A and B are shown apart, each in its own frame.
Chain A
Amino acid sequence: MSERDPGDALPAAVAEAVVETRRRPSIVWLIPLIAALVGGFVAWRTFSERGPEITIRFATADGLEAGKTKVEYKSVELGVVEEIRLADDLSHVVCRARMVNGAEEYLREGTRFWVVRARVAGGQVSGLGTIFSGATIGLDPVREGKPTREFQGLETPPVVTIDEPGRHFVLHSYHAGAVDVGAPVFFRRIRVGQVVASELDPSGDFVEIQIFVDAPHDERIHAGTRFWNASGVDFSMSADGVSVDTESLVSILVGGISFETPERDGGDRAAEGAVFPLYENRAATQREIYTEKTEWIVYFDQSVRGLVPGSPVEFRGIRVGQVRDVRLELDPEQKNLRIPVVLEIEPQRFGDMHLPPDERRQRLDALVARGMRAQLKSGNLLTGQLTVALDIYEDAEPAEIVWQQPYPVFPTIPTPLEEITAGLTSLVKRLEQIPFERIGADLSASLVAARASLEQAERTLASTSSLVAPDSALSQDLRRALYELTDAARSLGLAADQIERDPSSVIFGRGEQ
């Protein structure tokens, strides 16, 4: 070994060469590399899947659980509630939820959140699955609007979510009736929509009911469509008997709205958000199809006893409106009391639905110029109700409409001899009811019968007289009978004398004396 080592011959001071061992890095380093790569990938994926963080405010956290409650849309998980805490002023709870990646698109100002719990509303049961799985937070995504991360949660789930095809309409009603949120909307007794909201108008004058009609039934709603409250049961009695009208059992319980579009003048298709009146019942829709009303004032100088708000206004017997108010006011100029009657006329009844106001005025002026006047007429003799009758009186004194505020004044003509006419008419009617012809016929028939009786009597008398004539057989026989009767009486007298004188003769007979 020593001969192979030349270093032995060298002095000890010679420096030793450094043996550089080129060591390639061990393959074992691949393991941390792979671990780093996989870990990094998983971290990146997890991080990239993390969506935005949002806060939702609810009135109560009932059923919500941090780390478990999910935010779902169509049962697809879109996020998880991470933290629930009370608001600083303790008025509500704040839920912090982590959404999934890609949810940013739906987190707009119009996006609604609500807690999905099992509940019964509008005749429907919803959210049964949450009994076992716990409450979830529902989401109604909206794609338009300003992106936001702060939301106010709804206390009740929205009846209609944004993805449902259909249209909203607004109904104005005097009162909400039995129509609650979630109540069904019927068309020919088929459920085609539901009530979305029901709230008082800010003015407080009416209730604004929002309904949602599902596609394709929303196409059935036109400008002339009439909605009515289908809640409960309609009883009506008529000549045909009693009829009961109801939409469905559900509508009896939770209320409902029905609608119908008239065959003609249905109008164009109604746009989203169109406003309609809500009628009390179906009959009301058929009665009150005229939405436009103009008000007029008429002055009567005579008694308006029997004229009440609601009395009909008729044109030649056709109802065109009604009396809205009857007042009494002092006429300052003439120092007189006068009676203004406010009429509510439905101009659409005249067919001038789409005329501009000016033209309508001209037409009315022309009608008045021709003699159109208002007049009081008795509507019912029995109750004494009056109606306001409009008619054209060709010979009326010239008058014109006074276009003034608040109501234009319509000219009237007094009702001369109205009552007398009416009384006479009724008298004549009653007279007419007497059956003179029949009386005549009966009378002549009676006369004929009487004559026959007289003849009979005559004949009887004649035969009687012939019976009692002196030379008649009867009288002869009578006379002879009388003679014989006389003889018999005389013999009886003789016999009596004989017995008196000799009573034994009764036994022994007359002796030989």
Chain B
Amino acid sequence: MTTSPATALAASCATCHDCHLLCRLPGTPGHGVRCPRCGAPLHARKPRSLERTTALVLAAALCYVPANVLPIMTVTSLGKAQSDTIMSGVVYLLLHGMWPLAVVVFTASVFVPVLKILILAFLLISVRRGSSWRPAERTRLYRITEAIGRWSMVDIFVVTILVALVRLGSLATIQAETGAVFFGAVVVLTMLAAEAFDPRLLWDRSAARRT
């Protein structure tokens, strides 16, 4: 961070996303720039990264509310139907003394999605405002987001497995509810958002400041 090294962008170059070949970009920006080696479209930065990420994060945030308010599954046991939301499941586990499991469920299903949305939102705002504040930490945040994203799918896996396994007729049946759909959407949307975000943007500004 002490010096600002040359970037490909500054040298009007770009690496191919697919085969990572360093190519010189033509002077006029336009469409149809391709990698001479593998033919993939060439971009100096991910196209419309901020816009896409913003849209996806917004969508994920919107879906997060019904995902937590609506029940994710209904357990029908001996004629007694009970619908559970994520939080009621966590509370149930806590009340029955299974607090390690409660911590896992809470982390994977409640904490992580919120964390992801908040991190992405923070990154987006900082990039939009042209902040050069601690780009390395912000990049680390981004890496965390990318890494933990898939673990939130644990809930969905549990629900799908239970729904498929517990088919004991009137004895016990489990049905997935609307909340599960929204929860799945939150996880997928945050993963897509993380994918759409270009972490190099975090560095562009600080590089621009220093030059």
Which residues of A are interface residues toward B (Cβ below 8 A)? 1, 25-26, 28-29, 31-32, 34-36, 38-39, 42-43, 46, 67-68, 129, 132-134
User: Chain B nearest CB: distance from A17 CB in Å?
Assistant: 15
Q: What residues of chain A lie closer than 8 Å to B62, measured between beta carbons?
A: 32, 35-36, 39
Q: What are 5 A-B interface contacts by the 8 Å CB criterion?
A: A29-B51, A35-B60, A35-B185, A67-B88, A68-B80
The 10 closest A-B pairs by CB, nearest first: A35-B59, A32-B59, A133-B80, A32-B58, A132-B78, A35-B62, A28-B52, A133-B79, A31-B59, A28-B55
Does B7 sit within 8 A of A, measured CB to CB? no
User: Chain A nearest CB: distance from B150 CB in Å?
Assistant: 19
User: Chain A nearest CB: distance from B196 CB in Å?
Assistant: 8
User: Chain B nearest CB: distance from A513 CB in Å?
Assistant: 160
**Complex Cα–Cα for A129 and B79 (A):** 8
Max chain A C-beta neighbours (<10 A), residue from B56, B69, B80, B178: B80
Q: What residues of chain A lie closer than 8 Å to B182, measured between beta carbons?
A: 39, 42
User: Chain B nearest CB: distance from A375 CB in Å?
Assistant: 77
Q: Are A42 and B178 closer than 8 Å at their CB atoms? A: yes
Does B12 sit within 8 A of A, measured CB to CB? no
Max chain B C-beta neighbours (<10 A), residue from A28, A36, A132: A28
Instruction: Please provide the chain B residues from 39 to 53 with a CB less than 8 Å away from any CB of chain A in the complex.
Output: 48, 51-52
Instruction: Please provide the chain B residues from 83 to 132 with a CB less than 8 Å away from any CB of chain A in the complex.
Output: 88
- A39-B62, A42-B70 given as contacts; is B55 within 8 A of A26 (CB)? yes
A77: nearest chain-B partner, CB-CB? B81
Q: What residues of chain A lie closer than 8 Å to B14, measured between beta carbons?
A: none
User: Chain B nearest CB: distance from A2 CB in Å?
Assistant: 12
Does B189 sit within 8 A of A, measured CB to CB? yes
Q: Which of A36, A43, A133 contacts B78 (CB 8 A)?
A: A133
Q: Which of A25, A26, A35 contacts B63 (CB 8 A)?
A: A35
**Complex Cα–Cα for A1 and B66 (A):** 57
Q: What residues of chain A lie closer than 8 Å to B70, measured between beta carbons?
A: 42, 46
Q: Are B189 and A43 closer than 8 Å at their CB atoms? A: no
Q: What residues of chain B lie closer than 8 Å to A129, measured between beta carbons?
A: 79
**Complex Cα–Cα for A29 and B54 (A):** 9
Q: What residues of chain B lie closer than 8 Å to A31, measured between beta carbons?
A: 55-56, 59, 189
User: Chain A nearest CB: distance from B46 CB in Å?
Assistant: 12
Q: Which of B51, B88, B178 contacts A28 (CB 8 A)?
A: B51
User: Chain A nearest CB: distance from B164 CB in Å?
Assistant: 24
Does B21 sit within 8 A of A, measured CB to CB? no
User: Chain B nearest CB: distance from A347 CB in Å?
Assistant: 62
Number of A-B contacts (CB under 8 A): 58
Q: What residues of chain A lie closer than 8 Å to B69, measured between beta carbons?
A: 46
Q: Are B48 and A34 closer than 8 Å at their CB atoms? A: no
**Complex Cα–Cα for A34 and B55 (A):** 11
User: Chain A nearest CB: distance from B76 CB in Å?
Assistant: 10
Does B82 sit within 8 A of A, measured CB to CB? yes
Q: What residues of chain B lie closer than 8 Å to A39, measured between beta carbons?
A: 62-63, 65-66, 182
Q: What residues of chain A lie closer than 8 Å to B51, measured between beta carbons?
A: 25-26, 28-29
9 extra interface residue pairs, beta carbon distance < 8 Å, beyond A1-B27, A34-B59: A28-B51, A32-B55, A32-B58, A32-B62, A35-B58, A36-B59, A46-B70, A68-B80, A68-B82
**Complex Cα–Cα for A26 and B58 (A):** 14
User: Chain A nearest CB: distance from B83 CB in Å?
Assistant: 9
Which size bracket describes the interface of B in this complex?
Answer: 20 to 34
Q: What residues of chain B lie closer than 8 Å to A35, measured between beta carbons?
A: 58-60, 62-63, 185, 189
**Complex Cα–Cα for A213 and B56 (A):** 66
Q: Are B78 and A28 closer than 8 Å at their CB atoms? A: no
Q: Are B178 and A26 closer than 8 Å at their CB atoms? A: no
Q: What residues of chain A lie closer than 8 Å to B55, measured between beta carbons?
A: 26, 28-29, 31-32
Q: What residues of chain B lie closer than 8 Å to A68, measured between beta carbons?
A: 80, 82
Q: Are B66 and A28 closer than 8 Å at their CB atoms? A: no
User: Chain B nearest CB: distance from A261 CB in Å?
Assistant: 44
Max chain A C-beta neighbours (<10 A), residue from B27, B59, B182, B196: B59
User: Chain B nearest CB: distance from A501 CB in Å?
Assistant: 153
Instruction: Please provide the chain B residues from 186 to 211 with a CB less than 8 Å away from any CB of chain A in the complex.
Output: 189, 196
Q: What residues of chain A lie closer than 8 Å to B56, measured between beta carbons?
A: 28, 31-32
**Complex Cα–Cα for A356 and B185 (A):** 86
1/0 per residue, CB under 8 A from A, across B128-172: the answer is 000000000000000000000000000000000000000000000
Q: What residues of chain B lie closer than 8 Å to A28, measured between beta carbons?
A: 48, 51-52, 55-56, 196
Q: What residues of chain A lie closer than 8 Å to B48, measured between beta carbons?
A: 26, 28
Q: What residues of chain B lie closer than 8 Å to A132, measured between beta carbons?
A: 78-80
B56: nearest chain-A partner, CB-CB? A31
Q: What residues of chain B lie closer than 8 Å to A1, measured between beta carbons?
A: 27
**Complex Cα–Cα for A39 and B182 (A):** 8
Q: Are B178 and A134 closer than 8 Å at their CB atoms? A: no
User: Chain A nearest CB: distance from B16 CB in Å?
Assistant: 22
User: Chain A nearest CB: distance from B125 CB in Å?
Assistant: 16
User: Chain A nearest CB: distance from B176 CB in Å?
Assistant: 15
**Complex Cα–Cα for A472 and B2 (A):** 202
**Complex Cα–Cα for A34 and B82 (A):** 30
A36: nearest chain-B partner, CB-CB? B62
1/0 per residue, CB under 8 A from A, across B66-79: the answer is 10011000000011
User: Chain B nearest CB: distance from A363 CB in Å?
Assistant: 70
User: Chain A nearest CB: distance from B54 CB in Å?
Assistant: 8
Q: What residues of chain A lie closer than 8 Å to B58, measured between beta carbons?
A: 32, 35
Q: What residues of chain B lie closer than 8 Å to A67, measured between beta carbons?
A: 88
Max chain A C-beta neighbours (<10 A), residue from B27, B60, B79: B79
Q: Are A42 and B80 closer than 8 Å at their CB atoms? A: no
**Complex Cα–Cα for A38 and B65 (A):** 12
**Complex Cα–Cα for A67 and B92 (A):** 12
Q: Are B66 and A43 closer than 8 Å at their CB atoms? A: yes
User: Chain A nearest CB: distance from B168 CB in Å?
Assistant: 14
Q: What residues of chain A lie closer than 8 Å to B59, measured between beta carbons?
A: 31-32, 34-36
B196: nearest chain-A partner, CB-CB? A28
Q: Are B189 and A26 closer than 8 Å at their CB atoms? A: no
User: Chain A nearest CB: distance from B113 CB in Å?
Assistant: 14
User: Chain B nearest CB: distance from A29 CB in Å?
Assistant: 5
**Complex Cα–Cα for A133 and B60 (A):** 38
**Complex Cα–Cα for A46 and B67 (A):** 13
